[in-house]
């Protein structure tokens, strides 16, 4: 973990930009999703993150930070791959 701390900080910094949102809104518009529905989806997304904070902290205490970060990154990759469905 110590060796990759700069990589982790870089990933965390650029991850916050959510570059996919710039493409996500027009894509959803082609599928008939309006801005109101998009904002409702964003609210659900925020609630899921909020509800996952405590369990991820507990998992980090039990499994360690590295395994928890790996699990979170894997779940994020899977969820983003399911978005177009």
Written as tens digits, the pLDDT of the chain (85 aa) is: 566 777 777 777 777 777 777 888 888 899 899 999 989 988 998 898 899 888 888 988 999 888 888 888 888 888 878 877 6
> What is the count of structural domains for the chain?
1
67 in a domain, yes or no?
Answer: yes
62 in a domain, yes or no?
Answer: yes
Taking the model in full, what pTM does it have?
0.61
Q: For position 1, what pLDDT does the model report?
A: 57
Q: For position 71, what pLDDT does the model report?
A: 87
Distance CA 52, CA 47 (A): 8
58 in a domain, yes or no?
Answer: yes
32 in a domain, yes or no?
Answer: yes
41 in a domain, yes or no?
Answer: yes
39 in a domain, yes or no?
Answer: yes
21 in a domain, yes or no?
Answer: no
Domain that holds residue 51: 26-82
Q: For position 41, what pLDDT does the model report?
A: 86
């Amino acid at each position: 973990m110590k060796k990759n701390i700069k990589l982790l900080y870089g990933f965390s910094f650029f991850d916050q930009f959510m570059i996919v949102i710039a493409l996500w809104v027009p894509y959803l518009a082609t599928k008939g999703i309006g801005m109101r529905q998009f904002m409702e989806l964003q609210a659900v997304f925020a609630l899921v993150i909020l509800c996952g904070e405590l369990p991820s902290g507990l998992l980090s205490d039990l499994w360690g930070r590295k395994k928890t970060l790996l699990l979170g990154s894997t779940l994020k990759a899977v969820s983003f791959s399911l978005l177009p469905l």
